[in-house]
Structure 1
Amino acid sequence: MSKTELFDLDGQVALVSGASRGIGAAIAHLLAQQGAHVIVCSRKLGGCEAVAQAIRDEGGQATALACHIGELEQITQLFSEIRQRFGRLDVLVNNAATNPQFCNVLDTDPAAFQKTVDVNIRGYFFMSVEAGKLMRERGAGSIINVASINGVSPGAFQGVYSMTKAAVINMTKVFAKECAAFGIRCNALLPGLTDTRFASALVSNPAILQGVLQQVPLKRVAAPAEMAGAVLYLASAASSYTTGAALNVDGGFLS
């Protein structure tokens, strides 16, 4: 197998949630560059279409579909449309997530708690279930869950978010074990601090940022594109014997 064939996604259909910006957009672009038809998915269709159009302008294939993964009805509708339009799904990247409250755990708002759980756990779970059903029909597929280093080492004032990301890591192992017989692999990506709007509360605060970077051996914040290569590995034949893994891309934070 040649170098290009190892990461070749020609003819495959890949769904990336939370792909209208940041890490998700970077992943969508790279998967399309490797030949996949990428379904760019997020809550707002306009943002998805902008990324999809940028991919098409680069010569890639992309379709924009809106879905709020915190709403089960929307997940059902999304996969109904995928089945109708494409009849298959080869790669799912669960990237959409939320963290609506930055506070001491004792000050957690119940509504914020529920929203975080609904998106980060329930959403990932049922996106994986629906994707897995399509993949099972073909006897192959790769599910990649974007978790976080917070799932291993809880972030300060990010208690509920950290708990949900720990659940995502365990969920990954559940799907890896129970879906291997269907040819489906499931792995997790654990990003470190990355320069996205999602992490702006940390990146834009010099005091917090310096405190975090003291714990990062590479001494810098990651760019979204630096997460995409790891996802390509997990999506492609390069990782054909890898399932149930949690891949740290964190500048050495968890070392």
Structure 2
Amino acid sequence: MTETEVRKIALVTGAGSGIGRACALRLLEHGYNVVLAGRRHAALDAVAQEAQHLNGEALAVACDVTDAASVAALFDQIRERFGRLDVLFNNAGRNGSPVDIDQLDIDEWRSIVDTNLTGVFLCTRAAFGLMKTQSPRGGRIINNGSISAHAPRPNSVGYTATKHAITGLTKAVSLDGRQYDIVCGQIDIGNAETEMAARMARGVRQANGEIAVEPLMDVRHVADAVLHMAELPLSANVQFMTIMASKMPFVGRG
């Protein structure tokens, strides 16, 4: 990047580990200034330290995406530090207990919905308001869907329901953002090798009731895919992308 080029500003939620960490580092490597958001400040600081030798500036901000005031404070810091936002990667999310629906605690259900759906809504709402009024106008919102936005795993009603809802949110924001040069797309990820997916290597329950080990893919491929989506001009959009371990049981009957 030359001195005359303006660095793009990206926000990654859930940036302290896993997919969020990998994508934040890839964006930083490519010259983005990246706001690292998440609940664990120590984990965010560790990513920021790791990024010191990269091309962009990393700003760690502790944020609970389920809390409207916390999200508002996050965006206040973005405005104060950078004055704009070019890319939002809504990555923060959580799983639920692997139980039948009648055994899923109502408070846990609400926590899953708050994190996976309301959190995305709150961050998208704030980003939309900033992107439509900043100059130059517009920006890109990328939602982390999941293979579960297409098909459920056994005993995953909370996670699956929220990830299906993300697809609807992605479509609605993509439509409503047109007049403001705001684009919105979704990346559906299957079996990236992270802490959250480590159980796949130990064996997980399949639709037929069997326990099977599932292949994993390097999380760097997800980071490259998110970078590709982010780098497109606002005149083009990856509406939906599925990236997955090639041999995981998803396509067809397994």
SS at match of 1:70: coil
SS at match of 1:186: strand
Regions of 4+ moved over 6 Å: 206-210
SS at match of 1:29: helix
Scaled by the length of structure 1, the TM-score of the pair is 0.88
Pick one of 145, 162, 173 that aligns with 1:164.
162
SS at match of 1:102: coil
Pick one of 204, 226, 248 that aligns with 2:242.
248
Cα gap change, 1:195 to 1:108, in 2 (>3 Å)? same
Matched residues in 1 for 2:198 and 2:86: separation? 32
**Per-residue CA shift, 1:97-152, capped at 9, x if unaligned?**
01131212221110110000001110001100101111112322000000101111
Deviation of the 1:211 alpha carbon: 3.0
For 1:4-83, list aligned pairs within 5 A. 11-83=7-79
Q: CA RMSD in A?
A: 2.2
**Number of residues paired by the alignment?**
242
Scaled by the length of structure 2, the TM-score of the pair is 0.88
Determine the structure 2 residue equivalent to 1:178.
176
Structure 2 gap ranges (5+)? none
Question: Is contact 1:10-1:36 (8 Å) kept?
Answer: no
**Per-residue CA shift, 1:25-46, capped at 9, x if unaligned?**
1100111111100111110111
Opposite residue 65 of structure 1, the aligned amino acid is: V
Determine the structure 2 residue equivalent to 1:98.
94
**Per-residue CA shift, 1:64-122, capped at 9, x if unaligned?**
11111111211111111111111101000000101131212221110110000001110
Q: Does 1:230 align with 2:228?
A: no
Opposite residue 125 of structure 2, the aligned amino acid is: V
Question: Is contact 2:11-2:35 (8 Å) kept?
Answer: yes
Matched residues in 1 for 2:120 and 2:50: separation? 26
Bigger share in helix: 1
SS at match of 2:43: helix
Opposite residue 105 of structure 1, the aligned amino acid is: I
Structure 1 gap ranges (5+)? 214-219
Determine the structure 2 residue equivalent to 1:128.
124
SS at match of 1:187: strand
